[in-house]
Amino acid sequence: MVRCVSLLEAEALILRKCKRCPLKIIADILLISRKNVKKTHIMYGANLSYALLNKYLNKISNAGLINRSPEGYYKITDKGIAFLDTYSFYIKEKGRMEKKMVALDDKKRSLQRLLNTHSQK
């Protein structure tokens, strides 16, 4: 069973945590497509060129994360919502791990200072 987070929570996490990596771009597109939207709306909302937008829309459409209606509107699927949920969890965990790494690096520097202090005596 997939753990659910609200789309607003997912959006907040996604928008603040990651640079413009491919996963971030996909998440942006999916967040924008929570309502029926046209391709140009996604393009401007995700700040993508037309060529890049088409590349990502093809990729996520083929993966079943987004659907295109006969009228040309795009909307996120249940699988797309699950992607956002998993991506949100990933971003949270990555942030926690980065904080732990900073703390470990601080401990390592403390150990190195202790070694340097001891050898100077």
Which residues sit opposite 63 in a β-bridge? none
Residue 37 DSSP SS3? strand
Provide the β-strand partners of residue 66.
Answer: 76
pLDDT at 11 (0 to 100): 55
Supply the pTM of this predicted model. Answer: 0.72
* DSSP 8-state secondary structure symbol assigned to residue 2: P
Q: What parts of the chain have a pLDDT lower than 50?
A: 1-3, 5
Task: Give the pLDDT of residue 79.
Answer: 97
Phi, psi at 35, each rounded to 5°: -110, 165
- 91-93-95-97 Cα dihedral, nearest 10 degrees: -150
User: Domain ranges in the chain?
Assistant: 7-93
Residue type, 60: I
Q: Which of 3, 14, 2, 8 is nearest to 95 (CA)?
A: 14
Question: Is 3.40.50.970 the CATH number for 7-93?
Answer: no
Query: Strand, helix or coil at 63?
Result: coil
